[in-house]
Amino acid sequence: MNIKIAELLPLATSHKPTLRVVYAALSKAYSIDKEKTIQTLLYIRDKNNWAWRRDFTRICLVWIKNNDEETFNKIITSFIMIGRWDDSFFCEEIINDHILSIIKNHLELDNTLLKKWLPKENQHPALARLIAKGIGLTMKEYRLLTKKWDWPFVNTLFKPIDSYRVYL
């Protein structure tokens, strides 16, 4: 692993690295080897292999989108599968037509996990309106969509007793 790419790992573990420091390290690593940098970010984001540094990788995703949108569109699906759905719409700045088409396609497949992670109107109104408009729904339809998901994937054996009672 190149030394500039290796600099990303300690940044990911630090409590709150500044945007300037993260962007500088990412810019250096990205200019040296784009593919290895993206692999490192996926490794950092993977909750099974490492520290599952969501905030750090999201900062890096914003930088990649702003500096190389074509690559961003290619890799965002990998980040969704490694992390979680809200990695693709955690802020207004990151949403583009490609992400909206991914969301729309998965909603047509009735992806309940996506419905679970879609931003709720009362929690993130601007983000919810942006997504609803982008996928061609009224706010009423969007609210119904985000409220009508069920929990077929919840394993009640691994939930605390209070949650266990709720889901039975």
Same domain, yes or no: 22 and 48: yes
In this prediction, residue 131 carries a pLDDT of: 92
Beta carbons within 10 angstroms of residue 18's beta carbon: 11
pLDDT of residue 152: 56
Q: pTM score > 0.85 for this model?
A: no
> Which of 67, 83, 99 is the last residue before a domain boundary?
83
- Quick one: 25 and 103 in the same domain? no
Q: In terms of domains, do 115 and 41 share one?
A: no
72 and 136 housed in the same domain: no
83: three-class secondary structure by DSSP? coil
- Residue 23 shares a structural domain with residue 55: yes
Domain carrying residue 98: 84-168
Among candidate residues 32, 67, 83, the one where a domain is terminated: 83
Number of domains in the chain: 2
Q: Are residues 78 and 95 in the same domain?
A: no
Residues 103 and 140 in one domain: yes
My answer on whether 92 and 166 are in the same domain is: yes
Model pLDDT, residue 107: 87
CB atoms within 10 A of CB 46: 17
Residues 110 and 70 in one domain: no
> Are residues 61 and 98 both part of a single domain?
no
| Dihedral of alpha carbons 92, 120, 101, 58, sign | positive
70: exposed, middle or buried (Cβ count in 10 Å: 0-12, 13-18, 19+): exposed
CA–CA dist 117, 146 (Å, integer): 8
CB-count burial class (<10 Å; 0-12, 13-18, 19+) for 52: middle
Return per-residue pLDDT of the chain as tens, 168 residues. Answer: 555 566 666 676 666 777 888 888 888 888 888 888 888 888 888 766 555 577 788 888 889 999 999 998 888 888 888 777 877 888 778 888 988 998 999 888 887 788 888 888 888 899 999 999 999 999 999 988 888 555 555 444 444 444 444 443
21 and 51 assigned to the same domain: yes
Give the end-to-end CA distance of the chain in Å, rounded to a whole number: 49
Residues 55 and 94 in one domain: no
Task: Report the interhelical angle of 54-67 vs 34-45 (nearest 10°).
Answer: 150
Question: For residue 23, what pLDDT is reported?
Answer: 86
Domain boundary pick from 83, 98, 123: 83
pLDDT for position 67: 93
